[in-house]
Structure 1
Amino acid sequence: MLIVPRDTAALRLGSATFGPGNFAVMAIVNRTPDSFYDNGATFGFSQAWDRVEQVVAEGADIIDIGGVKAGAGAPVSEAEEIERTVDLVAAIHDRLPGVVISVDTYRAGVADVLCEAGAHLINDAWAAADPDLATVAARWGAGLVCSHTGGHAPRTDPHGVTYDDVVADVIAGATGLAAQAVAAGVRTDGILVDPTHDFGKNTYHSLEVSRRLDELVGTGWPVLVSMSRKDFVGETLDLPVDERLYGTLAATAVAAWQGARVFRAHDVAATRQVLDMVGAIKGDLPPRAVSRGLG
């Protein structure tokens, strides 16, 4: 396991630098017709661009663009995934140069084209199912998300999965991939680790990972969490996707308090407020307008 000293743990993506205590919101923009939450609301380019402008105005630091539904569904070829995403990546790069562009893909061929178009981060949620992703990130100087799926293949759901200690498995898997990425030439300050809630995990596992997230934070690698409206929230509260916001925000606050750094979210404005409040309570962010009791 490769440990990164905390004084060198700044995360650099594109022109942006995120230091410890500087929470970043990663806004989800799906170029898919079958996404689990918005059912294709941003599949068309104009709708996707409207979404980009909205989330930037709401405080997003990173835009995460995906062209393939994470779960089971119709097969999507590499060519189709590229066609769905490359125009939006290029447009953000040209029109919003200060915004960090992330691409949610597990395919090295797709990542290569999208990095050439301007992407700064490869968000690999499937734990190096394609081992060439690290090589692509190194070639373009891009960042890389190193995740944990317990060995599950892309777009598959867990069935009867067990771990002796799920958190230990997450730490070993994600930091092991981080070490491999460094060996492949990926910038140390561009690597994040993601426990990957729900992927290769049942709800008990995802709750345990959330409860003990500080152990993953303690490795020194910047931690990304992607919890927005996921099944572990829905099953915990027995709620459908469109009623999982409050549960997601509670999980977000717990993760932020334990030291997670990047938060992948559908609901950007609400997530930004939660993170700013946690940051202020922790003493990392000053309150914006104070008058009470000062006069």
Structure 2
Amino acid sequence: MIYFRPLLQSGPARPADALSLAGGALWFSRVERLERGAPARVIGASEMPDDWRHALTVPRPPVAGVAMDAPRLMGILNVTPDSFSDGGQHFEAGVAIARAQAMARDGADILDVGGESTRPGAQPLPEEEEIARTAPVIAALHGTVAAPVSIDTRKTAVARAAVEAGARMLNDVSALTHDPALAGYCAEAGLPVCLMHMQGTPETMQDDPRYDDVLLDVFDGLAARIAAAEAAGIARARIVADPGIGFGKTVAHNLALIRGLALFHGLGVPVLLGASRKGFIGKLGGAPEAARRAPGSIAVALAGVAQGAQILRVHDVAETAQALRLWQAVHHGEDHDA
């Protein structure tokens, strides 16, 4: 198989033959041609086959009512005692609700509520406990914040309870492989889904992750899961893809995926980047405490924006929103004079 990664640019110095990425502000006139066992080559975008041209350029439809024509922020709300970064901080329902409302005020376009930690080495949580943690918070948020709520779960029963409480999207780190019934439920409920790539399970994923070519292997893995979701009745227009930074990846794997992130637009769906406060940021940035990784997280988020990521899943919403506004002002001339 041959793959094509758009070499993205921004700003007014746009050639007449440049193509717009997914209906957004970024454009490209050249692509990197990738093939297993062969050196990469840069070619003109006009040399791409039609199916790749379509996948890279077709505008992405809204996700849970949120337009995908510019980078959007997904605020992380872990209602857990043991998540890697903020475990225990929002475990009490009242604190969690206040945190979600604050993130919405700070600029979160989507709120992602999770009750089960999927940090490296985490053990599965009984679904009854996961429901008890998440459903009351989602119900309290329903109608009180404009941002749609996503449920971060691998389990049908948890997703069903969340949707009944007001959730409008599913974020599944297992890409619908953990619970065989979940894909069918999402199709029946018309639920948008984010499919994330993970090698192994949270218990084992960081034991010794290996790839032949991490960028192409993850692309192929996500393409297979998108095809499986479509076969289950989930329209491609309701699918988001996440390469799964930190989930069965080394530091080198994570960096390769971020550098090559634009390739994933070839899947023809919005791309979500979830790197916030991950361990590799602590290692490279000299920040062993996860709560002190906001600067590195923002740097990676902006690198993702430059690669066309439509959704950034972040802990530090206000800080990332400010950085994003400045990035857009510099690169797109969106200065919004007061």
CA distance in structure 2 between the partners assigned to 1:154 and 1:107 by the alignment: 15
The equivalent of 2:165 in structure 1 is 117
The equivalent of 1:248 in structure 2 is 297
2:262 matches 1:200:
no
The equivalent of 1:140 in structure 2 is 189
2:269 matches 1:229:
no
Judged with a 3 Å threshold, the aligned counterparts in structure 2 of structure 1 residues 158 and 111 are, in CA distance, closer, same or farther, namely same
Displaced runs of 4 or more, over 4 A = 1-4
CA distance in structure 2 between the partners assigned to 1:280 and 1:19 by the alignment: 19
Q: Which has the larger radius of gyration?
A: 2
Instruction: Choose which of 1, 4, 10 in structure 1 pairs with 2:60.
Output: 10
Once the two structures are superposed, the pairs formed by residues 1-295 of structure 1 within 5 Å of their partners are 5-6=55-56, 8-14=58-64, 16-20=65-69, 22-71=70-119, 72-73=121-122, 75-96=124-145, 98-127=146-175, 128-150=177-199, 152-240=200-288, 241-283=290-332, 286-289=334-337
In structure 1, the gaps of 5 or more residues are 291-295
Q: How many residues align?
A: 285
Structure 1 residue 7, shift from structure 2 partner = 5.6
CA contact (8 A) 1:103 1:111 kept: yes
CA distance in structure 2 between the partners assigned to 1:89 and 1:129 by the alignment: 23
Cα deviations by residue, 1:34-74 (Å, 9 ceiling, x for unpaired):
12212311111110111011101100010000001112346
User: Could you state the TM-score of these two structures normalised by the residue count of structure 1?
Assistant: 0.90
Structure 1 residue 90, shift from structure 2 partner = 1.4
CA distance in structure 2 between the partners assigned to 1:6 and 1:19 by the alignment: 14
Judged with a 3 Å threshold, the aligned counterparts in structure 2 of structure 1 residues 131 and 271 are, in CA distance, closer, same or farther, namely farther
CA distance in structure 1 between the partners assigned to 2:203 and 2:153 by the alignment: 11
User: Could you state the TM-score of these two structures normalised by the residue count of structure 2?
Assistant: 0.79
The equivalent of 1:293 in structure 2 is none
CA distance in structure 2 between the partners assigned to 1:9 and 1:225 by the alignment: 18
CA contact (8 A) 1:210 1:254 kept: yes
Structure 1 residue 11, shift from structure 2 partner = 3.6
CA contact (8 A) 2:78 2:91 kept: yes
Relative to structure 2, which stretch is displaced further, 114-123 or 3-12? 3-12
CA contact (8 A) 1:129 1:153 kept: no
What percent identity do the matched residue pairs reach? Answer: 35
CA contact (8 A) 1:257 1:278 kept: no
